[in-house]
Chain A
C-alpha cells in the first residue's frame, strides 16, 4: 500500500491540529498504515488540498474539496473519538 497523504487543518495550523495529527499518526501506526501528515491553517488549505488523500479539519470548512473531508473535532473533545478514528482508518484503507 502506498503512503497516504493526510492534511489536518485548524485555525492556527498548530494548536488543535497537532493533537489531531498525533492521534491519527498513532492510530495508523497501530493499523500498519503508512501516512504522511501535514498540518495547515484553514486559510492555507486550498494550497495543500490538491495533493492530499484525506482532509481532517477541527474547524468549519467553507469551500468544497474534491478530497474526502472528515470532521476531527471529536479527537479534541474526546467524545466519539473512536468512531472518528475508525472512519479515518476506513477512508485511508480505500
Chain B
C-alpha cells in the first residue's frame, strides 16, 4: 500500500508514465513499447501544462480587466476539454480509471446488464473527471473511485438505450456511443423534445442543416474562433492595439496547440487501449453485442455540425446575460458538437429543435460549470497543474457543465 501511495504522490508527470507502463505490461505489451508509451503520456501532460499556462496567463488578466471595465463578472476561464481530460487522467482516480472502467464493463457484460463492449478507453477520462471532482470535494479517494464506477455503468446503459436510434440516424450498424459527455444529454433532450411537440407553432418549425454550415463556417475553425475572441476580449479589456493583437494571436495559439498536446497524451494511451480492446473484444464478440465508440464518429453529420455552429454565438450570449454565470466560454466552444451529437437523432435532425434544446442545456450548464469551478480548479491543482499567484478560477463546459457529472458529485458529497 505504501508503494501505491508513494507513486500517487509523485505527481502526474511521473505517476502517469509509471501507471501506463505497468498497465501495458499487464496487457502483455513488450517492456520497450510499454515504457515508451508511458514516457509519451508524461510528455503530453507537460505539454498541456504549458498551454494551460499560456491560456490562463493571457486570458486571466484580460478577463479581469474586462470585469472592471464592463461590469460583467466572467472571471472563470473555460479551459476546454483537452485540459479537463488531462486533469482527469492525472488525478488519483485517473490512475485507476482504466481498470475500474474495464471491470465495470466486463461485470455488466457477464451479468448481461449491458450489450455494449466499450472499446473507447480514451473517454474513460469522463469517469475519472467525475471521480476527481468527488475526491476534491470529499477528500476521499475511494468515494471518487465509486463515483467513477457508477458513472461508467450509467453511461453504458445510456449507450445501450440510445443504440437503435443512433444506429439508424447515423447509419452506424452494430455501434453504440457510451460517451460520458454526449450521452449525458439524452435523458434531458427526450422530454424537452416531447415538450416541443406540444407547443403549437414551434412544433411545426423545421430547419435543414445545409445552408447554416456554410454561413457559420468560421465557428467550426477553432483557430479563427480563438483569434476573433482574443481580439474582442482585448478590446473589451481596453487593451491598446499591440496588446489586443497579441492576445488574439495567443488565443489562436492556445486553440491550435491544446489539441496537439492532447494528441501526444492520446498516442501514449494507444498501446494500452489497443491491448485492452483486443482483450475485451476477444471475449465478447458477435451480433448480440454493440461496439461502443467515441461519439466523435457521429460529429461529421450535417445536423450535428450545423446545430453546434449556431450554438457558439448563442453560448457566448447566454454567458453574458445569465444571472449568476461567471464562466467565460472559450476552450469548449469547439466542443459543442459533442453536446448535440446524441440530441440530433432525438429531434430527427431538426436543427431548430436541436438548437433550442442545446440552448437550454448550455444555459443550465453554465451555472453548473460556475458551481463546480472551485472544485475544478482544486482538481487541477491536485493534478499538479501550475497556476500563477492569485489566479483566476477555471472550469470547462466538457465536463464542467455536464449534468450527469454534477448529479453524481452532489450525491457523493452526501456520503462524504
Q: Is A59 within 8 A of B122, CB to CB? A: no
Q: Is B220 within 8 A of A41, CB to CB? A: yes
Report if A15-B294 is in contact (Cβ < 8 Å); known contacts: A60-B171, A77-B119.
Answer: yes
Of residues 287 through 314 on chain B, the ones whose CB sits less than 8 Å from some CB of chain A are: 291, 293-302, 305
Total count of chain A residues near the partner, CB < 8 A: 28
Report if A73-B221 is in contact (Cβ < 8 Å); known contacts: A11-B298, A16-B294, A18-B266.
Answer: no
A46 CA to B259 CA, complexed, in Å: 19
Q: Is A59 within 8 A of B299, CB to CB? A: yes
B238 at the interface (CB under 8 A from A): no
Q: Is A19 within 8 A of B270, CB to CB? A: yes
Total count of chain B residues near the partner, CB < 8 A: 41
Q: How far is the CB of A57 from chain B (nearest CB, A)?
A: 7
Q: Is A15 within 8 A of B170, CB to CB? A: no
A82 at the interface (CB under 8 A from B): no
Smallest Cβ-Cβ distance to A19: which chain B residue: B270
A76 CA to B118 CA, complexed, in Å: 11
Smallest Cβ-Cβ distance to B209: which chain A residue: A62
Q: Is B172 within 8 A of A12, CB to CB? A: no
Q: Tell me which residues across on chain B come within 8 A of A9, comparing CB atoms.
A: 300
B36 at the interface (CB under 8 A from A): no
B395 at the interface (CB under 8 A from A): no
User: Of B82, B213, B273, B299, which is within 8 A of A11 by CB?
Assistant: B299
Q: How far is the CB of A14 from chain B (nearest CB, A)?
A: 5
Q: How far is the CB of A36 from chain B (nearest CB, A)?
A: 16
Q: Is A60 within 8 A of B298, CB to CB? A: yes
Q: Is B171 within 8 A of A43, CB to CB? A: no
Q: Is B301 within 8 A of A59, CB to CB? A: yes
Q: Is B175 within 8 A of A62, CB to CB? A: no
Of residues 388 through 411 on chain B, the ones whose CB sits less than 8 Å from some CB of chain A are: none
A58 CA to B297 CA, complexed, in Å: 5
User: Of A19, A41, A59, A77, which is within 8 A of B298 by CB?
Assistant: A59
Secondary structure call for the B interface: helix
Q: Tell me which residues across on chain A come within 8 A of B293, comparing CB atoms.
A: 16, 76-77
Of residues 36 through 75 on chain A, the ones whose CB sits less than 8 Å from some CB of chain B are: 39, 41-44, 47, 57-62, 73
Q: Is A10 within 8 A of B267, CB to CB? A: no
A78 CA to B278 CA, complexed, in Å: 9
Report if A44-B297 is in contact (Cβ < 8 Å); known contacts: A62-B213, A77-B291, A79-B291.
Answer: no
Q: Is B277 within 8 A of A11, CB to CB? A: no
Report if A11-B263 is in contact (Cβ < 8 Å); known contacts: A59-B300, A60-B170, A62-B300.
Answer: no
A58 CA to B170 CA, complexed, in Å: 12
B174 at the interface (CB under 8 A from A): yes
A45 CA to B278 CA, complexed, in Å: 31
Q: Is A14 within 8 A of B297, CB to CB? A: no
A91 at the interface (CB under 8 A from B): no
Q: Is A10 within 8 A of B298, CB to CB? A: no
Q: Is B296 within 8 A of A62, CB to CB? A: no
Q: How far is the CB of A24 from chain B (nearest CB, A)?
A: 13
A77 CA to B221 CA, complexed, in Å: 28
Q: How far is the CB of A28 from chain B (nearest CB, A)?
A: 16
Q: Tell me which residues across on chain B come within 8 A of A60, comparing CB atoms.
A: 170-171, 298, 300-302
Contacts A10-B299, A58-B297, A60-B170 known; list 16 others, CB within 8 Å.
A11-B341, A14-B263, A16-B294, A18-B270, A19-B266, A19-B273, A22-B267, A41-B220, A43-B217, A44-B221, A47-B221, A62-B301, A62-B305, A77-B291, A77-B293, A78-B119
Sampled A-B contacts (29; CB under 8 Å): A11-B295, A11-B297, A11-B300, A11-B338, A12-B296, A15-B122, A15-B266, A16-B296, A18-B266, A19-B273, A22-B267, A22-B270, A41-B334, A42-B300, A43-B220, A44-B221, A58-B296, A58-B297, A59-B296, A59-B301, A60-B171, A60-B298, A60-B301, A62-B213, A62-B305, A77-B293, A78-B277, A78-B281, A78-B291
- Identify the A interface with B (CB < 8 A): 9-16, 18-19, 22, 39, 41-44, 47, 57-62, 73, 76-79
